[in-house]
Amino acid sequence: MTHSSVISFYGSDIPSDAVINTCVHCGLCLSSCPTYRETGLEQFSPRGRIYLMKAVADGRIGMESDVFQEQMSACLNCRACEAVCPSGVQYGQILESSRSQIHNAKLDGTLPAYPVTTTAIRSLVFGQLFRRMSVFRAFSRLLWLYQKSGLQWLARRSGVIRLFGLTDQEAILPPISNTFTVPRDQVYPAIGVEKSRVALLSGCIMSTAFSHVHTATIRVLQRNGVTVVVPRNQGCCGALHAHGGELDSARSLAQQNIAAFGSSYDAIIVNAAGCGSTLKEYGHLLHDDTVWAERAVAFSAKVRDISEYIAGLDVNTADLKPLPMTVTYQEPCHLAHAQRITAQPRALLKKIPGVTLIEMAESSLCCGSAGIYNVTQPELAGQLGNRKIANTMRTNAQVVVTANPGCHMQLAGGLSANGSPMRVLHIAEVLDMSYRGAHA
């Protein structure tokens, strides 16, 4: 466990030496890394962080190093480095393992424990909200009440939010609807001849704050001859747990979802980029589990982002009605970098009559949302958010299209704060508006 009195990696989920040593330190990832772009500091780059991981693995520094812990937290895990790496370094895997090492060492007393407030927040977020969907829905209803009752206005007006230092985080809360997508084995039949039968991931925030995106997604699939089922007993995808170093919890959620979805569907459709990326990596997450490994690989092979799946069909363009508006497209990191889906959303937007697509600068650079990054790293999140908003507004588009709830909230909050009338829509919503002949 230790070398020369420093705390090295130990136990399970040790970052792979093979992956660490794949990095040749060429530096081609530097210009793609958001935190390096913002700071210009080597330790804020993928290369610098891999150097720190190797130093811990070799016993030259320990996990108790403030710099090591700071950098494992400061990384957005946007995976942009993976997309440009000539050596194919699986950076996300070793980052999540490093975070797991720190987390487990804090729990077993090898490293100093989390502060009491951090422990309480992690217990609430990872142990309750994103483990039990009934709790998450109850919490979402409280947020709905907070927004509709006037409490939000009062909290903002009185300065209470500012007092707790949560102004920026509270500002990006999406409007919560009182209509949730609760998975109960609902079946939505294809319109016309059924071409395929798919299952939809309801998820956490997508099933509450963004339930309307599920409605749009289902209608778009139906229009393209797809029957949609929303299987019961499914839960959170486990993305936040995996990114937060709680890999055992992520594995438990993965097993729950694999069991819930079964194997009878042609595809498993996801309309949240971060969720889709995690579901596609269940095979790696459970690769050491003799009971679940094979099922996890089969499950991941069926996962498709909504834009990826629709673009792979013989798209029903005959029913698309004119939608006269200019749009720009913001690429969610875990769609563009982790899933390598970049062409399909643009191709779909260009099929809609009347839509003009204007490319924004740095469309694939992280917006700073990255799960709970707004809470853990508010300064860097704010800098990246401002950069993204500036690039978005320069397009003068009417709508910015995205495909991930975190990005949606970051964009909507930033645009509102800057007085921009630009709307934020999911790509499924844009397609659905065209099919229904809705006005922009």
Give the Cα separation of 35 and 80 in Å (integer): 11
> Does the pLDDT value for residue 192 go beyond 50?
yes
What local confidence, expressed as pLDDT, does residue 439 receive?
A: 66
Whether residue 316 lies inside any domain: the answer is: no
What local confidence, expressed as pLDDT, does residue 206 receive?
A: 94
Give the Cα separation of 330 and 412 in Å (integer): 12
Domain count along the chain:
4
Residue 386, H or E segment? helix 378-394
Q: Do 16 and 67 reside in the same domain of the chain? A: yes
Contact status, residue 276 vs residue 335, Cβ threshold 8 Å? yes
Q: What pLDDT, in 10s, does the model give residues 232-262?
A: 999 999 999 999 999 999 999 999 999 999 9
**Residues ≥6 apart with Cβ < 8 Å to 2:** 8, 59, 62
The enclosing domain of 349 has a CATH number of 3.40.50
Q: What pLDDT, in 10s, does the model give residues 67-98?
A: 999 999 999 999 999 999 999 999 999 999 99
Q: Do 429 and 349 reside in the same domain of the chain? A: yes
Q: Do 272 and 363 reside in the same domain of the chain? A: no
Q: Do 158 and 65 reside in the same domain of the chain? A: no
Q: Do 101 and 75 reside in the same domain of the chain? A: yes
Contact status, residue 275 vs residue 243, Cβ threshold 8 Å? no
Beta strand pairing status for 196-200 and 267-270? Answer: parallel
Phi then psi for residue 3, to 5 deg, are -135, 120
Give the Cα separation of 334 and 276 in Å (integer): 8
Structural domain containing residue 343: 325-436
Whether residue 398 lies inside any domain: the answer is: yes
Indicate the residue among 79, 107, 135 that finishes a domain. 107
Indicate the residue among 311, 346, 364 that finishes a domain. 311
Largest CA distance in the chain: 70
For residue 327, the 8-state DSSP code is E
Q: What pLDDT, in 10s, does the model give residues 118-160?
A: 888 888 888 888 888 989 898 888 888 888 888 877 887 787 7
Give the Cα-Cα-Cα angle 218, 222, 223 (nearest 5 degrees): 120
> Does the pLDDT value for residue 164 go beyond 80?
no
Q: Do 50 and 74 reside in the same domain of the chain? A: yes
Runs of H (alpha helix) within 33-163: 34-39, 46-57, 66-74, 80-84, 91-107, 116-124, 133-148, 151-158, 160-163
3-state secondary structure of 292: coil
Q: What pLDDT, in 10s, does the model give residues 281-301?
A: 999 999 999 999 999 999 999
Beta strand pairing status for 267-270 and 325-329? Answer: unpaired
The enclosing domain of 81 has a CATH number of 1.10.1060.10
Q: What pLDDT, in 10s, does the model give residues 380-439?
A: 988 999 999 999 999 999 999 999 999 999 999 999 999 999 999 999 999 999 999 976
**pLDDT tier at 2, thresholds 50, 70, 90:** very low
Q: What pLDDT, in 10s, does the model give residues 200-211?
A: 999 999 999 999
Contact status, residue 54 vs residue 80, Cβ threshold 8 Å? no
Q: Do 368 and 404 reside in the same domain of the chain? A: yes
Q: What pLDDT, in 10s, does the model give residues 173-185?
A: 788 887 899 999 9
**pLDDT tier at 3, thresholds 50, 70, 90:** very low
**pLDDT tier at 440, thresholds 50, 70, 90:** low
Core vs surface per residue 65-91: b (16+ CB within 10 A) or e: beebbebbebbbbbbbbbbebeeebbb
Q: Do 145 and 203 reside in the same domain of the chain? A: no
Q: Do 293 and 343 reside in the same domain of the chain? A: no
Per-residue pLDDT, averaged over 295-315, amounts to: 96
Whether residue 319 lies inside any domain: the answer is: no
Q: What pLDDT, in 10s, does the model give residues 328-386?
A: 999 999 999 999 999 999 999 999 999 999 999 999 999 998 877 877 788 898 899 99
What local confidence, expressed as pLDDT, does residue 148 receive?
A: 85
Whether residue 177 lies inside any domain: the answer is: no
Whether residue 179 lies inside any domain: the answer is: no
What local confidence, expressed as pLDDT, does residue 376 receive?
A: 79
Give the Cα separation of 440 and 430 in Å (integer): 9
Whether residue 318 lies inside any domain: the answer is: no
What local confidence, expressed as pLDDT, does residue 372 receive?
A: 77
